[in-house]
Structure 1
């Protein structure tokens, strides 16, 4: 059995960005890498629910993809619709069960995330609220990683989840017309929202003392974290600016791919601002499988 169509169905490169959400959330609220029994179930839940949501997205988009993206696994007949639905349901169950292993509150967050994912795929994505709901899914994914901390880590941690929400709303606005030419309004709005989210991440990174269990050896100005955030933000803005100035499928899809895969490095930057370097390195390690998979599997 060829595995590539199944990896394409779930956008395998992007699944690692979901892992970065929950792992980063766990680390930001004071969680430790050595406590794998706590964070690993959250990471598994994030990845499973994300993969299920992407598969369901293609199930609901089957007729549209037959016209606009005939090479995708479902319209091309490489994966059956029944298998895609069954796999998505199994992944959702796995995600909820894995979160339940971590605790009741984690299961509640996972349940809310699943409700948002299914609602988005089932029709909300075609409305004006689609990008906002997609962003909320990402924010809940970050909160899932924070769910074991008292009050989800407090306002500083909430700010990171909110920033990621706004950033992904922006990415989703850019993606709305990624198969069309000449539409500038949506990518322009998306770029503004991306900038807003990234500015909020800079603010969170520079307010490390407000996070739970502040790292005592943190420098007054976290140079490494700020540099990472600046470099990644520049790369994102370059891709988005090209999509705004020359809106066509190639530039729009490039901007979306850059925005999604750069999520890992945005998390790395924030964690590097707030926690010790080894924590940031653990999140950065997720870039390796994500980037390797992105070389042979599309991510938009």
Structure 2
């Protein structure tokens, strides 16, 4: 009898280290939901006040976030393999298209690679040490949250909290990385030039009849790329309050979505669904209150932060609540999954509303394009 005949069927793909096709990996990482992560990253850069510049920091930071996100998706299927054999028999690991052991190794490599990419970015740019540490630690904490969510903790009440923490830390990681690059201290040559100019001014004789004034010898301050007039100091990491509020709002919203989707593969409890929807609404309310956290509203464009923006968030929220209520009234698997899918894809619309208020329609239009890509890809690839 052959060796493979003596082994359980589930181990054959492991021994052969099945890599699968590109389409199998697209199915495994649930490609449509990756566009919601991209919209979070782009919106985080806008809220942090850095726009989408420099690209040498933005693009690697987004790639690091994608690696963490895809690692979470892969580990989710590895951990839920036995459950998927019953409820999701079409998943790539269940069909043995990709080896579960190989998938787990790839996911863990992604989690290690993400913080390394962020560290490389802040090392290649002139970044102060404390900001370099903040950017690296935020990315490392993100990887830890992803790893611990896909562990036995997933089945505990901490599971949804860890999932929300993943989204929130992703936003903070993007913000910290871009702010670290843009809040760099002046170079030595710039400082020497400024001091020489100040000394020359001091040595000059004042003109007759003019009042003698003492110019400051301090180097000119570098304009910090923060939103709405908030200041950053070079010796401490002080994130814009709007960035923290945005991260908290998305985190609470995702905690609610995860709670709502807790038993999406079978008939759910209306009580759990209602609690999840309540958390989502809490996140939406906090998101609509972002302008309150700012000292100055002059930086807003196109959308009035006190009227138009809350109204737009409210309209998007109504569609989310309506779809989720359908699952609460009839808590069967199909309706609950539709509610989860709608809530996830609506993240892009919510981010587009935030960007529209901060930076105008051109930037917001990029996020709307992400929604179209997500909808198109969801035709063939499941997002839940």
The answer to whether the superposition gives a TM-score over 0.5 is: yes
- For 2:75, the equivalent position in structure 1 comes to 56
- Cα RMSD, aligned residues only: 2.1
SS in 2 for 1:281: helix
Distance 1:217 1:269, change over 3 A: closer
Unaligned runs of 5+ in 2: 1-19, 123-131, 180-231
CA contact (8 A) 1:14 1:261 kept: yes
1:207 is paired with a residue of what secondary structure? helix
| 1:174 pairs with 2:193 | no
* 1:129 correspondence with 2:158: yes
Q: Distance in 1 between matches of 2:86 and 2:238?
A: 44
Select 1:201's aligned residue among 287, 298, 309.
287
Asked if structure 2 preserves the Cα contact closer than 8 Å seen for 1:208 and 1:273, the reply is no
Match of 2:15? none
Residues 226 and 269 of structure 1 are in contact (CA less than 8 Å); yes or no, is this contact kept in structure 2? no
- In the TM superposition, what is the alpha-carbon distance from 1:189 to its structure 2 partner? 0.4
Q: Tell whether 2:356 aligns with 1:272.
A: yes
Which runs of 5 or more residues in structure 1 are unaligned?
none
Task: Provide the C-alpha distance between the structure 2 equivalents of 1:89 and 1:275, rounded to a whole number of angstroms.
Answer: 36
Residue in 2 that maps onto 1:3: 22
- Post-superposition shift, 1:168? 0.3
Deviations 1:235-282 (A, max 9, x none): 211111111111010011111111111111111111212223222223
Q: 1:81 aligns with which of 96, 100, 104?
A: 100
What's the CA shift for 1:81?
A: 0.9
Aligned to 1:240: 324
The aligned runs of 1:1-300 (5 Å cut-off) are 2-103=21-122, 104=132, 105-147=134-176, 148-149=178-179, 150=232, 151=237, 153-204=239-290, 206-207=291-292, 209-210=294-295, 215=299, 217=301, 220-221=304-305, 225-300=309-384
Secondary structure of the residue that 1:71 maps to in structure 2? coil
CA positional deviation for 1:188: 0.4
CA distance in 1 between partners of 2:301 and 2:374 (Å): 31
TM-score of the superposed pair, with normalisation by structure 1: 0.92
| Counterparts of 2:27 and 2:298, CA distance in 1 | 40
Q: 1:289 to 1:191 in 2, by over 3 A?
A: same
CA drift of 1:60 comes to: 1.0
TM-score normalised by length of structure 2:
0.72
Structure 2 counterpart SS, 1:262: helix
Q: Distance in 2 between matches of 1:71 and 1:21?
A: 29
Q: Which structure would you say has the larger Rg?
A: 2
**1:289 to 1:93, Cα distance in 2 relative to 1, 3 A:** farther
CA contact (8 A) 2:47 2:242 kept: no
Higher relative contact order (CA 8 A, sep 6+): 1
Mapped to 2, the partners of 1:183 and 1:224 lie a distance apart of: 36
Change in Cα spacing, 1:207 to 1:277, as seen in structure 2 (3 Å) is farther
Distance 2:105 2:252 in 1: 31
Q: 1:35 & 1:19 partners in 2: Cα distance?
A: 17
Partner of 2:150, secondary structure, is helix
Q: What's the secondary structure of 1:257's corresponding residue?
A: helix
Deviations 1:134-181, CA, capped at 9 Å, x for gaps = 111111111112113344632222111101011000000111110222
